[in-house]
Homo-oligomer: A and B are copies of this chain.
């Protein structure tokens, strides 16, 4: 049975148990639970936890920022609102047509992608 309990997981990942719960609360890595409610970390989660640490350190990113990134990819409405805002960069009127067409194409693929993943 290859699943570690929270203290063991903390041991091998470098996070504190407290932080593992926090990471879960941020919606980033939710361990599955034993029948009694104990968190169980499999190899997948352990690896992701280590990778997450590297990522945060390397780019000086915070957990809450990763939490937001997570929101961006689960909340479709938020994502498109944010995308729309950024895409409204100062542009001359003629840029619109081509760019908008491309955007439509991209979003079509996006929808296909999401449909394929459900």
Residues of A within 8 A of B (CB): 44, 47-48, 51-52, 55, 58-59, 61, 64-66, 68-70, 72-73, 75, 77-78, 81-82, 85-91, 95, 98-99, 102-103, 105-106, 109-110, 112-113, 116-117
Contacts and interface: CB of A to CB of B under 8 A. Distances in A.
10 contacts: A51-B85, A61-B78, A69-B72, A73-B86, A98-B116, A99-B116, A99-B117, A102-B112, A102-B116, A106-B113
Nearest to A91: B117
Q: Which 6 A-B pairs have the closest CB atoms?
A: A106-B109, A102-B113, A65-B68, A59-B78, A44-B90, A99-B116
A113 B85 contact: no
A82 B54 CA distance: 11
A70 B72 CA distance: 12
A58 to B, nearest CB: 7
